Amino acid sequence: MRHATIKRALSSLACVGLLVGCGEQLDPASLLNQTRPVGVLFSVEGDPTSTRPAADETLNVTLLMAHAAEELPVSYFAIFCVPAPSTVGVPFCDFDADGDPILVGGIHAGNDIVGDPAFTLDIPSEAELDALGVESSLLMLGAFCQGRIASVTGIANLFDADATSVNPCSDPEDDGAILSTTVTLLRGDAQRNSNPAIASLTLAGADWDSVPSGTDTATGCMGQGLPEARQGDDPITVILRATGSSRETYDALVDDVLTPVRESLQVTSLATAGEMQRTFTFIDDERDVVDVEWLPPTEGTPLDGERVRFEFVMRDGRGGLARVRRQVCLLP
């Protein structure tokens, strides 16, 4: 499809087929026009491909950030707690008898961090986990802001019925966000899991290598060794391959029977300009590569070119994650 993303096509289809009038189009998720999180990378110390720590192990945690232009410093905080039972809505911590959330470890926080914020979590011993009532997972709740974190109020406000907005940042206009994810522990029936890896990327059939160092400026990219594209070009095909071991096999309940199944890898594709054909694509039993088109912008490119940043994040659905960044020099 040449001139519209799937989302826009379906929106248009809904307008015609379902006879629903639509307002203005919203930015697609694939448009990277602000600093935002793209995932949380877990890596067990001493076993860097593993995402699931056992008791007494240390987990390296990295908040992966993506930026619309140059990398901006961010502030963050994170806590880990025993998750409350829930099947709908926003996950939250379970509470103890005093009404306090059952935390595991302390508060992890930092200000003005350039690059992806990273910290470690020491997993308690088996006995301590049992005492806290941990089964096989911990809930991570946190937040990041481009300015300062206001406090944990943003998170506390989740349960305030009268709240009119929930923003963890001191500046209400801050593009910060509240984060959550789950850390699966190697205890009980939990199975091992490793982070997947991206084997290769091609752009219009050619290898698309990582960014040369020292060239990371917003404009003026002409002749700096980046793959080039011109505004108004036809869609350009990006092909992403995962390493052979990325799709792990694990046991899952299928019709109440424990059955070996292979992971399905979900790939998120983001670009700072133009349109990705789809935000989410998959590598599964039917397709062994991701094949997604990028439609360059049609106007507004400076004479010396514009650097367009791409983020590709691969997830295995079980906590494993890989991320690569690429750039294209867009010429008028």
Residues that bind another protein (CB under 8 A): 1, 4, 6-7, 9-10, 13, 16-29, 36-40, 84-91, 154, 157-158, 161-167, 175, 177-182, 255, 266, 268, 278-282, 287, 292, 313, 315, 317, 319
φ/ψ of 317, rounded to 5, equals 80, -5
**22 vs 218, which CB is nearer to another protein?**
22
Q: Report the alpha-carbon distance of residue 34 to residue 150 in Å, rounded.
A: 20
Nearer to another protein, 12 or 245 (CB): 12
Q: How far is the CB of 160 from another protein (least distance, A)?
A: 9
Residue closer to another protein by CB (options 215, 237) is 237
* DSSP H/E element including 289: strand 289-295
Residue whose CB is less far from another protein, 85 or 214: 85
* Cα–Cα distance measured from residue 306 to residue 271, given in angstroms and rounded to the nearest whole number: 12
**Nearest distance, CB of residue 46 and another protein, angstroms:** 23
Maximum separation of any 2 CA atoms in the chain, in Å: 65
| Choice between 115 and 225, CB closer to another protein | 115
Q: How far is the CB of 204 from another protein (least distance, A)?
A: 19
| CB 206 to another protein: min, Å | 23
Q: Determine how β-strand 198-203 pairs with β-strand 137-145.
A: unpaired
- For the chain, first and last CA: distance in Å? 23
Q: How far apart are CA 108 and CA 6, in angstroms?
A: 39
Residue 182 in contact with residue 138, Cβ under 8 Å?
yes
Nearest residue (CB) to another protein, 88 versus 114: 88
Q: Which two tokens stand for residue 190?
A: 């939990």
* Smallest distance from another protein to CB 253, Å: 9
6 CB-contact burial (10 Å; exposed 0-12 / middle 13-18 / buried 19+): middle
Least distance to another protein, CB of residue 221, Å: 28
